[in-house]
Structure 1
Amino acid sequence: MSIPDRELRQIEQAPAEQRAMSDAVSVQIETTYGAAKKIIAAGLESFNREHMHGRSPKAFAATANVDGAVRGGLMAEAIGEWMHISLLWVDEQFRRSGLGTALLKRAETEARSRGARGVLVDTFSFQAPAFYKMHGYFAYGQIEDCPEVGMTWFRFRKVL
């Protein structure tokens, strides 16, 4: 991974002592990043907390169990005054059974109880944009040909 030109110019224009430190920096790509993810997330959370009136992200997961087996679930995180659903999955044989709706409604209830003003979610065209529209979510952004040509990445929001 290379350093963008703008950053290289900043390094070149930096005082000698800063350039020396920059020369010692090593940037690595990790494919198993559990430990790195914890460090990065903690650092960003600490920085964000300073700018978000002391609110810290609060995550939760919800699972839908059928006959003792997890058949669906979601993961969400409160960020400031909004709840972001990062993952929502329903086992294929239970899709269109109401399980996804139950998970989404439960997440919205939890978001309200935590004082969230709304819910954010991302989805791809081959996943569930119609599902979110059906539940009152508004598409406020999209990127065509993402993640691949012919597909679209949607960002949805719902004010609670």
Structure 2
Amino acid sequence: MMEITPQSKPFSFCIARETAPEAGRATRDRLAAEVAADFGPRDERAFALVARDAAGEWLGGVNGVIHWRWLYVAQFFVAEPWRKRGLGAALLAEAERLARETDCVGLYLDTFGPCALAFYQAQGFVLAGTIENFPPGAARTFLYRPLTPAI
């Protein structure tokens, strides 16, 4: 048990590591309510875009969420034989169409790979920031692309 004295009123508490799936629910729900009060509801919607060949074989895809009028690309992957053939650009273009259809103001994502970073920048994404040594020996880079009104 720990004790602190904020404003001359001592009280006791304990901090525990909890592993049950519902352990973080109270924190998540209270934070979500406070953030929604300040910035509006998150209104989060998941999406998945999948590229398949004529035989139905999976070639690549994009998964993520739309919230606060931004489309977040959480996972983006193109099978090795289909890289550098335009499929990745086509998937991002479809993500942009989805973003526009849902009244988003931009897209954002993060990556660990230098090749992926160059690809995203070639697609018009702008560097937002980098965390060095995350994962160890590499860097995690955050990028975004604001959407201008369609002409």
Q: Answer whether TM exceeds 0.5 for this pair.
A: yes
- Aligned to 2:46, the other structure's residue is in SS state strand
Shift of 1:100: 1.1
Name the structure 1 match of 2:18. Answer: 28
Alignment RMSD (CA, Å)? 2.7
**Quick check: which one's helix share is greater?**
1
CA–CA distance in structure 2, aligned partners of residues 47 and 111 of structure 1: 26
Cross-structure match for 1:12: 4
- Matched with 1:141 is 129
1:128, CA displacement in angstroms?
0.2
1:61 paired residue among 38, 43, 48? 48
User: Measured at CA, do residues 69 and 55 of structure 1 come closer, stay the same or move farther in structure 2, by a change above 3 Å?
Assistant: same
Count of residues in Structure 1 that have an aligned counterpart in Structure 2: 142
- The answer for unaligned runs of 5 or more in structure 1 is 1-7
Q: Aligned AA for 1:133?
A: Q
Q: How far does the alpha carbon of each residue in 1:136-157 deviate from its partner, in whole angstroms, 9 at most, with x for none? A: 11112112232122x2211111
Q: Distance in 1 between matches of 2:94 and 2:27?
A: 26
Match of 2:76 in 1: 88
Distance 1:87 1:45, change over 3 A: farther
Q: Shift in Å at residue 13 of structure 1?
A: 2.7
Aligned pair 1:79/2:71, yes or no?
no
Where in structure 2 are there 5+ consecutive unaligned residues? none
C-alpha deviation, 1:29, in angstroms: 4.5
Distance 1:45 1:86 in 2: 20
Q: Report the CA distance between 1:114 and its aligned residue.
A: 0.9
How far off is 1:56 after superposition? 0.9
TM-score, normalised with respect to structure 1: 0.74
Q: Partners of 1:72 and 1:138 in 2: how far apart?
A: 23
Of 102, 107, 110 in structure 2, the residue corresponding to residue 114 of structure 1 is 102
Per the TM alignment, residue 122 of structure 1 is displaced from its structure 2 partner at its CA by: 0.2
Which residue in the other structure is 1:4 paired with? none
Q: Which has the higher mean CA deviation after the structures are superposed, 83-92 or 40-49?
A: 40-49
* Residue 99 of structure 1 pairs with residue 91 of structure 2: no
- Partner residue of 1:51? 38
CA distance in 1, matches of 2:57, 2:37: 41
Deviation at 1:97, TM superposition (A): 1.9
